[in-house]
Amino acid sequence: MSIIFRDAEHAWNPTPEEIRVWAYSNEKIPEQDWELAVNSFENIPMICSFIDDENCNHISFFLCSLYVFTGDIVKSEEIEEIDRLSLLLDKVEMSAETEKLNEWINRSKYLIEHPNTYDYAYWGLGSKYAY
């Protein structure tokens, strides 16, 4: 971890480059629940590219982070954030290559339309959809 991140505190505010380096490393997750640290609207396209790249060493981790991201936004019930997520899903759908990524997109769209189907086991940390 010391090679990628300056310290444990910095791992909670990683730069896109640090996330990218970690994605292709053999390092363990730098911090518990780190999915929460990498998730942001700005990072989602990059995270999607990792899932579509079989050379990424942490595909399941990043897939889980996408499910957590969607789940947290839908559960928040903040209309502006949900609308922003919908637009992002439409954008990443245009370039999604793998079945895993397309499943996340389709499941996310379904959850947005049917928020009452939210289940933490699938949309929270350790998502059953990812692991």
What pLDDT digit, counting tens, does each position of 69-90 carry? 999 999 999 999 999 999 999 9
In a domain, 51, yes or no: yes
pTM over 0.95: no
In a domain, 74, yes or no: yes
Residue carrying structure tokens 């994605």: 23
Number of domains in the chain: 1
In a domain, 94, yes or no: yes
Instruction: Return the pLDDT at 13.
Output: 86
In a domain, 26, yes or no: yes
pLDDT at residue 127 is higher than 80: yes
Residue 17, C-beta contacts closer than 8 angstroms, at least 6 positions apart:
none
* Mean pLDDT for the stretch of residues 59-66: 98
- Coil, helix or strand for 27? coil
Instruction: Return the pLDDT at 1.
Output: 43
Instruction: Return the pLDDT at 3.
Output: 59
By CB neighbour count within 10 A (0-12 exposed, 13-18 middle, 19+ buried), where does 27 fall? middle
Q: Which domain holds residue 90?
A: 8-123
